Amino acid sequence: MKIFLAQQNYHIGNFEANTAKIISAIEEAKKQGGDLIVFSELSVCGYPPRDFLEFDDFIEQALAAIDKIRLAADTIGVLVGCPSRNAKVEGKDLFNSAYLLYEQKIKGVVHKSLLPNYDIFDEYRYFEPAYEWNVLTFKGKRLAVTICEDIWNLGDDPLYRICPMDELIKQQPDIMINLSASPFDYTHEDGRKGIVKRNVLKYDLPMVYCNTIGSQTEIVFDGGSMVMDVNGSLHMELPYFVEALASVTWNEDGSFADAIVRNADTVDELMPMPWELDPQKGIAQIHKALLLGIRDYFGKMGFTKAIVASSGGIDSAVVLALACEALGAENVSALLLPSQFSTSHSVSDAEQLSRNLGNHYDMIPIEGVFKAYETALKPVFEGLPFNVAEENLQSRIRGAMVMALSNKFGSILLNTSNKSELATGYGTLYGDMAGGLGVLGDLYKMQVYTLARYINRDREIIPQNIIDKEPSAELRHDQKDSDSLPEYDVLDPILYQYIERRQGPREIVSLGNDAALVSRILKLVNNNEYKRNQFCPIIRVSPKAFGIGRRVPIVGKYLV
């Protein structure tokens, strides 16, 4: 049996485009003599559709798409993901389902059993879990079809009370097939391979695993679809962060042939080892994920041009470099907004960066505008010292300027705040926190430096002085980030323990950190939730990102 895996990038709710893409892959697989083609979870509508699922018209369009795809499934079997209606009175109205289409008919429908309701997932909000489990018969073979989370309930501390494969294995299937929408984070690749291997070894069956790729606002899907044989050996792995269509031949004896093995060096890890913040970890994959996140956000929203406020600092330099690589330098502009507190090398570094990248840039000094504000505010501020109010005023002037250019020329402002700053509130609402998309908001400052060096791996794109100099917001003379924050090599690991690892103060102090410093940092994080609540979407690359995956109260009392 020749089985194709279609690793595709879908546009949520774009049924016409998604259906055309699915049918195109089906036609190509038929040309190559395919018997069965497997697509990813909710491929017809795109994942995650969220509250679109509450619209009856949305479901009708999804089911109409299944009818179109069914007509293409004449000489080839098709496994495709789509919502389906719950015909029973009990429970929610919808299932998250996989359809087996063949001979232009719906031959079977399998429903997802395990509905994740943690981090970025909220499937139990919309779907009813499966209440029965049946293998699907196709060309004399018995297929145990599962959907994403259904294969993850293994280990010593399972999250769910049932395991779908424990039920399906009773029906003596010949192979496991999983339709997934498993998102990227820089710790996930080894764990995903490990969980596939655990299933293979536990149930003594091979597995075909098809994952989606593409960015859906905050969430990036990286692909890495795979075929693993009954011995737990990775027989085929599709590339990451790109669409791919590949086939494998499943022989009568259960073995596989005619496949290409890629990235197989980590497959022997059953699960990832305990992981601490390492700025070097997964930096090449992070780079690809951010490029895909930018490119898909613009492409799927119909935007073409981006603008970045370029300060001569590391964060704006990295965002500008990523934007130019993702969108083309001709579609990216930079705006330099120096004040009387900006150093000459910050301006020259920002100019050199744009020359290296080949993007257009403008410069608008803000000293005069700032002094006009000072004059206007003088009757109210009379006799009060220069403080954070004047510092933030400069940031807000810059925000107004760059948004003016964004409005005038139709460019989307890319935000440059990093995770360390967002965590501690080191940013100005309606100033440097403005933007349509947060590019670095899930990277700690130390990771940003590593990414800058990675961008420079072949040639100097980001001027070395930007990487070497001490970070500063330059909102007053001789200002340094370390005036207000601990050094980033001290700050970032503590933030990581609190945010990604969900460790409390006692656990973090037990790792050798100063108790007073830990208390100060954690209070900064909690007290600035109100700022993050107003922030733009952030491209997610970590196991726990700010935004939809981290839901804490703004007015909570914990640790404050």
**Between the CA of residue 125 and those of 110, 118, 194, 533, what are the distances in Å?**
19, 11, 28, 22
Q: Please identify, among 424, 458, 482, the residue that sits at the C-terminal boundary of a domain.
A: 482
Domain-embedded: residue 404: yes
- Both 112 and 242 in one domain: the answer is yes
Q: What is the pLDDT of residue 280?
A: 80
**Predicted confidence band of residue 8 (pLDDT cuts 50, 70, 90):** very high
Q: Is the pLDDT of residue 337 over 70?
A: yes
Domain-embedded: residue 528: no
Q: Please identify, among 482, 500, 532, the residue that sits at the C-terminal boundary of a domain.
A: 482
Q: What is the pLDDT of residue 471?
A: 83
Domain-embedded: residue 238: yes
Domain-embedded: residue 529: no
pTM for this prediction: 0.94
**Predicted confidence band of residue 138 (pLDDT cuts 50, 70, 90):** very high
Domain-embedded: residue 510: no
Q: Is the pLDDT of residue 70 over 60?
A: yes
Antiparallel, parallel or unpaired: β 332-336 and 141-147: unpaired
- Both 233 and 289 in one domain: the answer is no
**Between the CA of residue 121 and those of 9, 48, 114, 240, 529, what are the distances in Å?**
19, 8, 12, 22, 21
Q: What is the pLDDT of residue 260?
A: 58
* CATH number for the domain harbouring residue 399: 3.40.50.620
Of 504 and 254, more confident = 504
Q: What is the mean pLDDT of the chain?
A: 93
Range of the domain at 209: 2-266
- The active-site residue out of 21, 112, 193, 197 is 112
- Both 372 and 241 in one domain: the answer is no
Q: Is the pLDDT of residue 387 over 90?
A: yes
Q: How many domains does the chain have?
A: 2
* Residue 302 tokens, joined: 């119909």
Average the pLDDT over 463-479 and give the result.
86
Q: What is the pLDDT of residue 270?
A: 38
Q: What is the pLDDT of residue 281?
A: 81
| Residue 17 contacts residue 68 (beta carbons within 8 Å) | no
- Both 251 and 326 in one domain: the answer is no
- Both 364 and 451 in one domain: the answer is yes
- Both 239 and 343 in one domain: the answer is no
Q: What is the pLDDT of residue 264?
A: 40
- The active-site residue out of 148, 210, 324, 536 is 148
Q: Is the pLDDT of residue 80 over 60?
A: yes
Q: What is the pLDDT of residue 560?
A: 52
Q: Say what percent of the chain tops pLDDT 90.
A: 86
CA-based nearest residue to 315, from 477, 445, 194, 425: 445
| Residue 188 contacts residue 152 (beta carbons within 8 Å) | no
Domain-embedded: residue 233: yes
What gap in Å lies between CA 303 and CA 298, rounded to an integer? Answer: 5
**Predicted confidence band of residue 66 (pLDDT cuts 50, 70, 90):** very high
- Both 216 and 287 in one domain: the answer is no
Of 255 and 297, more confident = 297
Q: What is the pLDDT of residue 496?
A: 96
Q: What is the pLDDT of residue 254?
A: 81
What gap in Å lies between CA 23 and CA 499, rounded to an integer? Answer: 42
What is the amino acid identity at position 43? S
Q: Is the pLDDT of residue 546 over 80?
A: yes
**Predicted confidence band of residue 36 (pLDDT cuts 50, 70, 90):** very high
Residue 26: helix, strand or coil by DSSP?
A: helix
DSSP calls for 260-296 = ---SGGGTT-SSPPP----TTTTHHHHHHHHHHHHHH
- Both 222 and 182 in one domain: the answer is yes
Domain-embedded: residue 502: no
DSSP calls for 400-432 = HHHHHHHHHHTPEEEE---HHHHHHT-S-TTTT
| Biggest CA pair distance of the chain | 87
- Both 336 and 432 in one domain: the answer is yes
Give tens-digit pLDDT for 524-544: 999 999 999 999 999 999 999
* CATH number for the domain harbouring residue 86: 3.60.110.10
Average the pLDDT over 71-90 and give the result.
95
Give tens-digit pLDDT for 243-291: 999 999 999 888 898 765 454 444 333 334 445 778 788 899 999 999 9
- Both 377 and 304 in one domain: the answer is yes
Look up 92 and say whether it is catalytic. Answer: no
Give tens-digit pLDDT for 178-224: 999 999 999 876 689 999 999 999 999 999 999 999 999 999 999 99
Average the pLDDT over 230-245 and give the result.
95
Q: Is the pLDDT of residue 79 over 70?
A: yes
| Residue 346 contacts residue 470 (beta carbons within 8 Å) | no
- Both 415 and 294 in one domain: the answer is yes
Q: Please identify, among 435, 452, 482, the residue that sits at the C-terminal boundary of a domain.
A: 482
- Both 313 and 458 in one domain: the answer is yes
| Residue 72 contacts residue 26 (beta carbons within 8 Å) | yes
Look up 148 and say whether it is catalytic. Answer: yes
Domain-embedded: residue 548: no
Look up 367 and say whether it is catalytic. Answer: no
